[in-house]
Structure 1
Amino acid sequence: MKNIMLRIVLVSTFISIFFKSNAQLDSTRLGLYLWGQSFFDNKEFTGNIKKGYTHPGFYIQPAIKFETKQYSIAAGFHTLYLAGADSLERLVPVFSARLQLSSRIILIAGTLESLTGHWLPEPLFKPERLFLNQPETGVQFLFQGTESKADLWINWERYIKTGSPFQEEFTVGFTHLYYCWKHTTGFSNAFHAMAFHHGGQIDSTNLPVQTHVNIGLLPAFSFKPSGNTTLALTTSMYYYKNLSPSFTSEYNNGFGLHPQVKAYRNNITLDVGFWYSNRFVNPHGEELFGSVSAINPIYNQSVRRLGTVTLEYQKRFMSSMLLNANFKVYYDFKSNLPEYGYTLRLTFDGELVQL
């Protein structure tokens, strides 16, 4: 571990010296940046779909960043620690090359920009992936328009070599947001599409190749009844399809519906909804919304009906510090069982010093 840390420091120092000399010649920017997050995430789940757990810890991701108007390059490392563990959960290098293709489109290769979770909703993206499944690595295109924004990415989650005793894994995703109901009134919409693949042409395991697809459409209509309060009515629709060439499962296609009433005022968001799904599978989403039990397949439920309530506070301090606290309740109508979870996250994302 000490040798790895020493190598990372030496490489980072070399990059710093190299780019600093070029920065002085080209009048560009060189700085030491930190992406970090401390978190306390607790789930009190007692049903048969999923049991509760707690994640207390932090991650830090320092990087030296060389920046011009046309492109930027950042190199550093990412480390994840969970409180009380005997060792680090993760220590990996990070490297990101960012190119401004046009006034609206950015290409990123290497470590992806994923601090927002690609704006994915909870049924498709489990929120704890924001701190447990970082960094994401692959290729990404970001689009920023006047009325919309989009994110197209591939995250390569497991690399294989000839003879590896496991399959390669990657996720391809696309998100498009048209306005945001919190900040505008009238119609807004979000579209999400994700594909999850397990396999590989040099796969030496006997496991079947798997490809699963999730699609989500989240229209909303918002208005201001008074003052700074914004209300929104939404009915989110989700679809699941198993596109595996030979792999079959108990559920090969399914859907989910999530009508909600949402309110936003002074950095506080409250939403109340009802979730109904039939044979819905969500590989990266919160398991409570899916039909597959994380405990034992005998507890799988083709039909899921949940009452959902979320209270969230989120505020940015200065330009680089973000505080997020939320409390979520899920009421399972089949078991008449309330389950809940709460999370506190403090995120830093900014420049520490200009070199």
Structure 2
Amino acid sequence: MLRWIVVLCCIAMWWNIGVAQVDQTWRYYYPEFKENADNNLYFRLENNNFVKNNEYFGDYIEGFTMMGYTAQPSLVYYAGSRLRIKAGVHLVQFSGMSDFTEVLPTFSIHTKLTDNLDLIMGGLQGDVHHKLIEPIFNPENQYTRPIENGFQFIYNSNKLWLDAWVDWEQFIFLGDTKPEKFTAGVSTEYQITNDENDFQISIPGQMVATHLGGQISNYSERMQSLANLVTGVKLSYNIGDGFIKDVGIATYYATFHDLTGHTGWDFTSGNALYPVGEINYKYGTFMAGYWRAHNFLAPKGSSIFQSTSNYKPGYYTEYRNLLTTKLSFTKTFMKQIKFSAMVETYYDIPASQFDYSYGINLVFTPNFYISKIKFD
């Protein structure tokens, strides 16, 4: 299956493929790589307490509520200045459940290959850190599937940020009756203007591809490979240190490709246009956008943007026209204690259908120094 990874990543780099998404990276579990922490051993706790209520009444996704908490205690060791080992356990508890919903071991090795290039193997810096737009990658994955495992390269320089990864979701042995599953992705942003300019122009690009199959599996269904590509342009203007920090606009062009033709739908490709405007203020972000899609599917995207229903078998609409807004509020009480609230609206123009969601998060991420242990 490695040939599929190579093909999909090459497609993404050929398109040179933004981010129409309220920044939620501060609440994610993966810690930044510390400088000057050589041979240090830490105990780290990552706790996210959440409520997310989706009031959806349309034909594409049903409303539901998520309430609970996640906890990830771990040991973090810096073996010198360029390698870090992190090992622990990830716990998910949804309110109303008598047992933990998930108990997952976590392990990652993070090495800085150069000053600009990092390699992570095991548990990835994933989810909202990929900076993908909501139509192709659902931000609710941070609750339902917060741990990605595989390998990842992250490049960060003055002009270019790039994140390339493979999330191996299901491994198979010879003769298994279940399919092999993985997701490959590339997310980039190239900054055209210089950092010192108040007016910024950048070119974002994204690719998410999913694969279902496996040559050594006895899985009865056909192999399936789907890909979403995104490109666009982002413009922003830095206002200053007042209540309004900056304003920006962006336009994204997204495409869908069925590489194997086995989805069961009559179409094998589609596209969408997604212009958005954004205002970043002292306590968060207000964003508004318009989603115009034709035969669009994204297996990892939010279901409310798709051309097919996730709960009505066979339901399909060729064109989607959707108005969206998001308003976020964040407050940091201490460096390790953060609160956020979010309100989102979705208006389906042809159906005259108004859906909305809201949620709150309280995040606690303390880091305790234990000892210095020399690594030979």
TM-score by length of 2: 0.82
Q: After the TM superposition, which residues 1-355 of structure 1 pair with which residues of structure 2 at under 5 Å, given as runs? A: 28-67=39-78, 68-114=80-126, 116-179=128-191, 185-224=199-238, 227=242, 228-244=244-260, 248-355=264-371
In 2, are the aligned partners of 1:209 and 1:245 still within 8 Å (CA)? no
Question: Where does the alignment leave 5 or more consecutive residues of structure 1 unmatched?
Answer: 1-25
In 1, are the aligned partners of 2:198 and 2:238 still within 8 Å (CA)? no
In 1, are the aligned partners of 2:198 and 2:239 still within 8 Å (CA)? no
1:158-207 superposed Cα distances (whole Å, 9 cap, x missing partner): 122234332111000011123599x9632123211111000111121211
1:218 deviates by 3.6
Match of 2:24 in 1: none
The secondary structure found in structure 1 opposite 2:260 is coil
Q: Residue type of the partner of 1:141?
A: F
- Does the C-alpha gap of structure 1 residues 264 and 158 become closer, same or farther in structure 2, counting only changes over 3 Å? same
Q: Residue type of the partner of 2:217?
A: D
1:197-231 superposed Cα distances (whole Å, 9 cap, x missing partner): 00111121211100000111241112256854422
Structure 1's consecutive aligned runs of 4 or more residues displaced over 6 angstroms after TM superposition are none
In 2, are the aligned partners of 1:117 and 1:130 still within 8 Å (CA)? no
1:105 deviates by 0.7
Q: Residue type of the partner of 2:134?
A: E
Q: Residue type of the partner of 2:71?
A: I
For 2:191 and 2:329, locate their aligned partners in 1 and report how far apart those are by CA, in whole Å: 21
For 1:28 and 1:150, locate their aligned partners in 2 and report how far apart those are by CA, in whole Å: 29
Match of 1:7 in 2: none
For 1:151 and 1:27, locate their aligned partners in 2 and report how far apart those are by CA, in whole Å: 25
Question: Where does the alignment leave 5 or more consecutive residues of structure 2 unmatched?
Answer: 1-36, 372-376
1:115 deviates by 5.4
The secondary structure found in structure 1 opposite 2:314 is helix
- Does the C-alpha gap of structure 1 residues 130 and 308 become closer, same or farther in structure 2, counting only changes over 3 Å? same
- Does the C-alpha gap of structure 1 residues 147 and 318 become closer, same or farther in structure 2, counting only changes over 3 Å? farther
1:315 deviates by 4.1
Identify which range, 301-310 or 222-231, moves more after superposition. 222-231
For 1:353 and 1:180, locate their aligned partners in 2 and report how far apart those are by CA, in whole Å: 41
The secondary structure found in structure 2 opposite 1:288 is helix
- Does the C-alpha gap of structure 1 residues 115 and 239 become closer, same or farther in structure 2, counting only changes over 3 Å? closer
The secondary structure found in structure 2 opposite 1:73 is strand
In 2, are the aligned partners of 1:261 and 1:272 still within 8 Å (CA)? yes
The secondary structure found in structure 2 opposite 1:103 is coil
- Does the C-alpha gap of structure 1 residues 246 and 290 become closer, same or farther in structure 2, counting only changes over 3 Å? closer
For 2:200 and 2:104, locate their aligned partners in 1 and report how far apart those are by CA, in whole Å: 44
Identify which range, 214-223 or 300-309, moves more after superposition. 214-223
In 2, are the aligned partners of 1:251 and 1:281 still within 8 Å (CA)? no
For 1:63 and 1:43, locate their aligned partners in 2 and report how far apart those are by CA, in whole Å: 32
For 2:121 and 2:370, locate their aligned partners in 1 and report how far apart those are by CA, in whole Å: 24
In 2, are the aligned partners of 1:208 and 1:247 still within 8 Å (CA)? no
- Does the C-alpha gap of structure 1 residues 56 and 222 become closer, same or farther in structure 2, counting only changes over 3 Å? same
1:330 deviates by 0.4
In 2, are the aligned partners of 1:330 and 1:340 still within 8 Å (CA)? yes
The secondary structure found in structure 2 opposite 1:291 is coil
Identify which range, 87-96 or 222-231, moves more after superposition. 222-231
Q: Residue type of the partner of 1:137?
A: N
